[in-house]
Amino acid sequence: MKISARNQFSGTVGAVKAGAVNSEVELVLPGGERIVAVVTNESVTGLGLKAGAAAVALVKASSVLVMTDSAGLRLSARNCLAGTVKSLNLGPVNAEVTIALAGGTEVHATITHGAAAELGLQQGGAATAVFKAPSVILGVPA
């Protein structure tokens, strides 16, 4: 599969929680991290999403926020993946940030150059990738 989404996370469905219209699907990554997606019930059925099934989560880098200090902060975003800044590519307007998670997975974010400076991002520093569950697109092997 070739796709423009920088973040392509392969994993196993851990749980599916059905609602009236949408379902919450939890994807467990190889390192144990969990990603939550909200998709339609029709997608759950059509893709055969159930516990133990292989799936891929796609998230555009522009949908990922970066946080460096969460002390006393609670967020509505279901996906908060803590790690270390692996690389930081500063452009004149935007910055590309790669956050390495403990299990080896990498999360890519595109943020403004100004935000990278305000956050004090630097290689080796702690950072958390944050994205909302509806920003996650799920796919399954054909």
In order along its 142 residues, the chain shows pLDDT tens digits of 789 999 999 999 999 999 999 999 999 999 999 999 999 999 999 999 999 999 999 999 999 999 998 878 899 999 999 999 999 999 999 999 999 999 999 999 999 999 999 999 999 999 999 999 999 999 999 8
Are 46 and 29 within one domain?
A: yes
Are 74 and 12 within one domain?
A: no
| pTM exceeds 0.85, yes or no | yes
CA 16 to chain centre: 18
Cα 135 from Cα 93, distance rounded (Å): 23
Report pLDDT for 72: 83
Are 33 and 67 within one domain?
A: no
CA contacts within 13 A on the Cβ side of 105: 21
What lies within 8 Å, CB to CB, of 45 at 6+ separation is none
Cα 119 from Cα 139, distance rounded (Å): 33
Report pLDDT for 56: 97
| Domains identified in the chain, total number | 2
Are 51 and 99 within one domain?
A: no
Report pLDDT for 1: 75
Domain-embedded: residue 26 = yes
Are 49 and 90 within one domain?
A: no
One-letter identity of residue 57 = A
Domain-embedded: residue 1 = no
Cα 81 from Cα 18, distance rounded (Å): 24
Report pLDDT for 87: 98
User: Which of 29, 119, 22, 12 shows the shortest CA–CA distance to 79?
Assistant: 29
Are 88 and 42 within one domain?
A: no
